[in-house]
Amino acid sequence: MKNTFFVVSLIVLLVACQKFALPDKNGDSSSHDEDESHEKGKNCMDCHYSAGYAEGVFTLAGSASGNTNNADVQLFETQGGSAIRTIQVDRLGNFYTPNDIDFSNGLYVGVRNSNGELEMMEDEIFHGQCNLCHGTSIEETLTIE
């Protein structure tokens, strides 16, 4: 009886405290026709991580300016290769995905505008926090032409 009470109490405690909740990796990715994102230009992963207070855990997220209509962010294992992942930029210029992405070997990033033109970053990335660098004093804002 004592063990049952302990187990039930532990389950209630874990459910009640969001800090112990398992990351939600089944959420939605951004889409072209969506306009409910927020905090454009800020580092999404300040809140959208496993211990964060925001809903959803993102593996890649950021913001873009300029002609973001129907734009996509694409990930590549090699320069000039085929895209292994495409994330749509929403109507507010934000993009995000909770889907698993393996950054361990580095990935190349390209942004495809609505005309189909692809602009690639020169260097590999090893994390998906785009606004950690872009839009700060480290890198200029990501602008789609």
Whether 10 has a pLDDT exceeding 60, the answer reads: no
pLDDT, one tens digit per residue, over 12-62 is 444 444 444 444 455 689 999 999 899 898 889 899 988 888 888 999 999
- The amino acid that residue 40 corresponds to is K
Q: How many CB atoms lie within 10 A of CB 87?
A: 24
Task: Confirm if 64 and 142 have CB atoms less than 8 A apart.
Answer: yes
What is the mean pLDDT of the segment spanning 105-120?
94
The SS3 of residue 24 is coil
pLDDT, one tens digit per residue, over 128-144 is 999 888 887 667 777 87
Report the DSSP beta bridge partners of residue 96. 61
pLDDT reported for residue 49: 85
pLDDT, one tens digit per residue, over 53-80 is 888 899 999 999 888 999 999 999 999 8
